[in-house]
Amino acid sequence: MRIIDIVDIGLCSFLTYGLIMLLKQTRSLFVVYGIIVVSVVYAAASAFGLRLSAAALNLFFSVFLLGLVIIFQAELRRYFEMIAIWMGAGGSAMRKRPGTGIVECVVRVAERFSAEKIGMIVIFTGHEAIGRHLSGGFPLEGRVSEPLLESIFDASSPGHDGALVIAGGLVAKFGVHLPLSQDFGQIESYGTRHSAGLGIAEVSDALAVIVSEEKGTISVARDGRLAVMASAEELSRTIGAFMRDKYDPKKIVLRKSLATNLPEKVLAVLLSAAAWFIVVFPYAR
């Protein structure tokens, strides 16, 4: 094995790791499992001379690439955006980090709304652009303040049923509509706000703070997971951890180290090494 082969495996491991993390976040692994099962069946059909089955599966694989692009269109776009962000090209990581005062402001308003059972959904953007996932709403580019949040989510406000987006330390838009989650296991006992908050957390790395109008509970959606906050202090810690993960340079370096997501990184290296030995090694000189 030459140095260039090690570099080759390393590059493939990097790309494979990104794909694994994306599939994990978007809950698309079941599709991959299905493809693996079909591949195993095809190999068995070819090995045992099941010509009709092999021919049918061969036809399937001949159009597989086109079908893959159609099925995973949104995921592929997010994958390339993720790779670009990891390589340091653009992304909201270059924007101004929301200050501690903004987080405390949102926490205080969420606590007050929870007691008064006023619905609210606030989105903190991460590295990934979320514009294509939003519809409607009103641009604002205003400073975050308690009176502003209270007026926007007042029942008489035209945008109170929508979401408010905080980007770069400012209220970018309010009254926006978000993609709804289809994860009925998590949202079965919640309403549209929670479905919308979880939906944006499934298609991006944003964080959503949701206050239930019916129950008065405060929830946070991130990385496709919905969690109920036990207190305002827990909400503050959760948002703070998100900010450190997305905006702290030391945390960014740490996230890229071998210590984080170690099982996924090991799997990516093993898959790339196995592919090298299957595809390249037999023809190496």
Chain segment 75-88, per-residue pLDDT in tens: 666 677 666 666 65
pLDDT at 254 over 60: no
Q: State residue 142 phi and psi, 5-degree precision.
A: -115, 165
Bigger pLDDT: 161 vs 283: 161
Domains of the chain with bracketed CATH: 3-92+258-283 (no CATH), 94-247 (3.40.1700.10)
C-alpha distance from residue 246 to each of 21, 41, 96, 128, 198 (Å): 16, 43, 11, 10, 19
Most confident by average pLDDT, 71-80, 140-149, 251-260 = 140-149
Q: How many CA atoms lie within 13 A of 166 on its CB side?
A: 23
**pLDDT at 25 (0 to 100):** 62
Phi-psi region of 162 (alpha: psi -120 to 50; beta: other; left: phi over 0): beta
End-to-end CA distance of the chain: 10
Model confidence at 92, pLDDT cuts 50, 70, 90, reads very low
- Predicted confidence at residue 179, as pLDDT, reads 92
Q: How far is CA 151 from CA 144, 158, 225, 263, in A?
A: 12, 10, 29, 46
Instruction: Give every strand in the sheet of 218-222, ordered side by side.
Output: 138-143, 170-176, 163-167, 120-124, 207-211, 218-222, 225-228
Angle at which helices 100-116 and 232-247 cross, to 10°: 150
How far apart are the C-alpha atoms of 207 and 201, rounded to whole Å?
Answer: 6
- 104: Cα separation from own chain's centroid: 24
68-82, 87-101, 115-129 — most confident range: 115-129
- Residue 27: band (very low, low, confident or very high) from pLDDT cuts 50, 70, 90: low
Q: What percent of the chain has pLDDT over 90?
A: 35
Whose CA is closest to 231, among 222, 220, 244, 221? 220
Give the phi and the psi of residue 171 in degrees, each rounded to 5. -80, 105
Q: What's the pLDDT tens digit per position in 185-211?
A: 898 889 899 999 999 998 888 999 999
| Strand partners of residue 139 | 173
Q: Give the global pTM.
A: 0.69
